[in-house]
Chains A and B, each alone.
Chain A
């Protein structure tokens, strides 16, 4: 599969979104709304549930399934209040030393007047900064598109995993082709050059694990759930200062 095929696959209609993952992996999920400052951003959903009996805070960027749902979730393009909600929930998790699990699937943070007025840059910057110093175990799983700063805002974790046909990139291949070569037709070339596939990301050290998709069947979710539970159980034994220091090193190496 070429890099561009993977790009298309990562955006494919019918691909499971964050809600599907939460349904299949998290038991007794209770959604918590709002950033307590401005609004509840539906592009980012968050709440608390259990994974293998262990309480976990779960945050997911949700693209929506059908058209109406997509519009409701703004196609997975979050506003500043989305990131601020995520930070609020992470801080709450930190207080009770509960692990934080993020599902990331966005073409990027929303570009619009309201987003700029309410400080999109500041919201993402503080989300990265707070998440990277969080004194509780964190894990991010990229389940579709890992689009630029909008994705990184929820990817400053202990480990970042990615499913087989997901991407993680600094810019969309379309954006790259049109800015760099003034030719939006060269998307396939740009996809190749950006090294945004799971295989490339593993060799660059940007992700720790590639999750095989196996057609997104029951076995896929069961395996992913088991892996997440094992990871968090291991991380829970690590002292908080150590977690933060390890995370510092993880990102410092780039």
Chain B
């Protein structure tokens, strides 16, 4: 088995070298969109290649794919078989799923590709496509923190925590909900708003993000069950301008609390936000007051609100519903604070100490009830809910 892999790796090296030649000819299109690894003439294995399958940018090779390979040995150790076929390059994952990669040698070697600057018939379109999702499949990923190669499946199995260094990756709103909820029904999914202040460039930005994420804005809300207890939930999404709060986010969160008041449900809120969305100006500031008012009303109705502060929770969101909960959970390692560390460093003109504004610091200073690891979040939430919602258990 090892011998086969070694042979495959050897063959791969040859093809990848050829590819790197091609990539170089394509001018500046030589950076892996996932790990930032460079394909260059001085190409060698082991530097920053992450296993992502990439589509070649540019219109000339709409069907040309190549694999951004982590140190081939690394992948082999993880049990990824790699083989080369006559048409080009094939990589096989641990399971049976096979990604077929077409590689047209004839086209590749005998036609001169045009680069972006030379302009091609539909180069612009292809570029757009490439930017919006040129990565059809991932075999393995590089951990942003330790730089080690981790199989994508492994990341998923560990709830987005690097199995090698324990780094917490950001996870999107729906993944977060499905990680903790046994049952989930979405509410207010159609809620969306436009460019309220006609802020330059904001309409385009919204459209682009909506297309890229499939979400209308930075929060998903609804109701569901954790450990058999029904509760309303909202979960913020880092992919949408780092969960910044504009009208839609504020409205959906306020509506979640109002729904919970009507149905007499506790609210669990997964908070992730860089703060207010400045493109919505004063309207975004008003969302802080609006959501706070809804939290207060929910609280006065004698209902429980648990906020889970994840990385990052800062700015206007931290100064409103994030810190207004009955129970405040901080996810391990999360950055939580009013001003971002860079702003503080600029203001006080000194370097901040290690661990400043991290979950552990917040707990030590008395502003979080408890720190919970991601893998234990569901269990902790269901225990806390059960303690508050006695009738649900009776």
Contact = CB atoms under 8 A, between A and B. Distances in A.
Contacts of B199: 193
A195 B197 contact: yes
Interface stretch (A19-27, A54-62, A120-128, A231-239): A120-128
Contacts of B344: 111-113, 116
B276 A121 contact: no
Residue of A115, A148, A176 with most partner-chain B CB within 10 A: A148
B286 A254 contact: yes
A132 B282 contact: no
Given A170-B284, A204-B282, A126 B323 contact: yes
Interface residues of B, number: 51
A157 to B, nearest CB: 10
A254 B319 contact: no
A136 interface: no
Interface stretch (B70-78, B147-155, B290-298): B290-298
Interface stretch (A5-13, A40-48, A86-94, A244-252): A244-252
A149 B319 contact: yes
A121 B295 contact: no
Interface in A102-160: 109, 111-113, 115-122, 124-126, 128-129, 132-133, 148-149, 152-153, 155-156
Contact of A128 (B247, B278, B288): B288
Interface in B328-369: 336-339, 343-344, 347-348, 352, 356-357, 365-367
Contact of A152 (B285, B322, B348): B285
Main secondary structure of the interface of B (DSSP, over half): helix
The 8 closest A-B pairs by CB, nearest first: A111-B339, A254-B286, A121-B318, A120-B338, A124-B319, A125-B323, A170-B285, A122-B323
Given A126-B324, A149-B316, A248-B293, A113 B282 contact: no
Nearest to B328: A122
B187 interface: no
A113 B355 CA distance: 12
Nearest to B200: A193
B254 interface: yes
- Report, as a range, how many residues of chain A touch the other chain: 35 or more
Interface in B253-274: 254
Contacts of B348: 111-113
Contacts of A1: none
B324 A129 contact: yes
A118 B339 contact: no
Given A193-B197, A248-B297, A254-B290, A168 B282 contact: yes
A125 B339 contact: no
Interface in B3-62: none
Interface string A181-201: 000000000000111100011
30 contacts: A109-B338, A111-B348, A113-B344, A116-B338, A117-B365, A119-B323, A119-B366, A120-B319, A121-B318, A121-B338, A124-B338, A125-B323, A128-B289, A132-B293, A133-B293, A133-B296, A149-B276, A152-B288, A156-B292, A156-B293, A168-B285, A193-B200, A201-B282, A206-B282, A251-B286, A252-B254, A252-B290, A254-B250, A254-B286, A254-B290
B356 A254 contact: no
A153 B356 CA distance: 24
B389 interface: no
B321 interface: yes
